Amino acid sequence: MSRGFVKEEDQEEAPVIPPRAALPVGATNYVTPLGFEALENEKHDLERERTKLPEDNETEKRRAQAVIDGKLKLLAERRASARIIYPNQQPEDEVRFGAKIKLKNHSNGSIQEFQIVGVDEADVKKQKIAFVAPIARAVTGLKIGDTTEFKLGNETRTLEILEITY
């Protein structure tokens, strides 16, 4: 049909669905039990939101529903690919997925603490970094007292593992 015969209000643009946190191609989608629970809660929240869409404006309802459906689809893919790793089943003396670590940056003497988690639960403000982050990859497999060279731009930092907890 020619676009000349289509009403302007029928020419809706597809809504933009924000992408989920990036997971490298071929990478396993590791999550902690709390991370998987958060994915489940997100699903329930989106389903609840879908039932509470405004009835008075059909166009707005359709757009909002399309956004929620898109988010649910991406979430379903992420949930289906999730592989739960239980931190309490990791070797206690080695940095692995789920570890909370304290390390010292010998380059400036600062102490840094964070937990290595899945990409969907990573939140720097909560000191949670994704297992695919360069610093997480640099320290994975290390033990207390071990050091590693971590390159950040033109700078190389010497990091020492001070503490590992799960």
Q: Check pLDDT > 80 for residue 10.
A: no
In a domain? residue 40: yes
Return the pLDDT at 1. 47
pLDDT digits (tens, 9 = 90+) for 54-93: 888 888 898 999 999 999 999 999 999 999 999 999 999 9
Q: What is the mean pLDDT of the chain?
A: 91
**Domains of the chain: total:** 2
132 and 147 part of one domain: yes
How far is 35 from 23, CA to CA, in rounded Å?
A: 15
How far is 75 from 8, CA to CA, in rounded Å?
A: 33
Q: Domain span at residue 65?
A: 22-84
For the question of whether the overall pTM of this predicted structure is more than 0.75, the answer is yes
Assess contact for 72 and 46: CB atoms under 8 A: yes
pLDDT digits (tens, 9 = 90+) for 116-130: 999 999 999 999 999
For residue 114, the cross-strand partners are 101
Last residue of a domain, one of 84, 116, 131: 84
Max Cα separation, the chain? Answer: 73
60 and 33 part of one domain: yes
Give the pLDDT band (50/70/90) at residue 43: very high
Nearest 10 degrees: Cα torsion 35, 40, 43, 47: -150
In a domain? residue 113: yes
